[in-house]
Amino acid sequence: MPGFAGFDTDIYPGDDVMSWLRTNTNLAWCGYYLGGAPSHPDTTWMGKRAALQGNGWGIAPVYVGQQVTGPGSQNPSAATGLQDGSQAALMMRSEGFAPGSYVYLDLENGPPIPQAQMEYVTSWVAAVVNGGFMPGIYCSHLLAQTISTSFPSSRIWAFKVPTTASHPVAAPFPCPDPAGCGYAAAHAWQLDQNGVHSLLPEIESSLGMDSSSAVSADPGAPDS
C-alpha cells in the first residue's frame, strides 16, 4: 500500500516555502520540531501549528531529547525521562495540539539500546501519556521491533536510508509503504536523509530535507 510523502528539516523554512511546497509538491506532512528540547534549542517551528494545519499540512511533532550518540545532550536516565516527557506534553499543549496527539521522541542511535536509555524512554513515555498525549518513537529500523515490543502503544517512525551524503532530490517525492523499512508495523519510514530540493526561482532558495513516507497523511493525529 503506498504511503503519504512527508519531510522534516531542523529549522523552519519560512511561511512562503511551506506554502509553495504544499501547493507544488506531493508532500502531505511535515516534522514539527518542539524547540527548547534538550537536543534541539532552535524554536523556529514553534507557533506555526495552526497556520500549517490551516494550509492542509499533516504534522508529526518531534521531541529531540537525551541522546547516547552524536551531538546534543547525553544524560539519559529515568529522572531525565520524566522531566523531558513532562516538557514534551507541556509543549504539545502550548502549541495547541489536540489531546491524544502523538509526539515522536528522537533516538539517533542504533542497537543495542543501553539500559539507561531504555529507562529514559520508559519514563518519557509514561510522562507523555500522563500529560494527555501519545508516544511516537523515531528510531533506527534495527531498533524498531525492540521499541515496539517495550512500548506497544507507540507509533514507530523508523529510519533506513541508503546514504547520509548530501544529494539533490525533487518532486514527486517517493511514498512507498512504510513496511518497506524492514519493520512491518512502521507508521512512517524515513527513507532519505540530507536531500537538497531546489525550489522555483520566485522562492530563490534551496531546502535541505529528510524525506519520509507514512501510512497516514497526519502522523501526529490522535487515533480515530
Question: Which tens digit of pLDDT belongs to each residue from 112-147?
Answer: 999 999 999 999 999 999 999 999 999 999 999 999
* pLDDT value of position 199: 78
Q: Which bin fits 57, alpha (ψ -120 to 50), beta or left (φ > 0)?
A: beta
Residue range 4-214 forms a domain whose CATH class is alpha beta
Beta strands in the chain (DSSP E): 4-8, 29-33, 58-63, 102-106, 134-140, 155-159, 167-169, 188-198, 206-214
Give the whole-angstrom CA distance, residue 55 versus residue 15: 10
DSSP at 12: -
In the chain, the percentage of residues whose pLDDT exceeds 70 is: 98
pLDDT value at 6 more than 70: yes
pLDDT value at 10 more than 80: yes
pLDDT in tens, 26-61: 999 999 999 999 999 999 999 999 999 999 999 999
Return the domain boundaries, the chain.
4-214
* pLDDT value of position 206: 85
* pLDDT value of position 148: 97
Query: Where do runs of H (alpha helix) occur along 47-169?
Result: 49-54, 78-94, 115-130, 144-150
Rounded to two decimals, the pTM is: 0.97
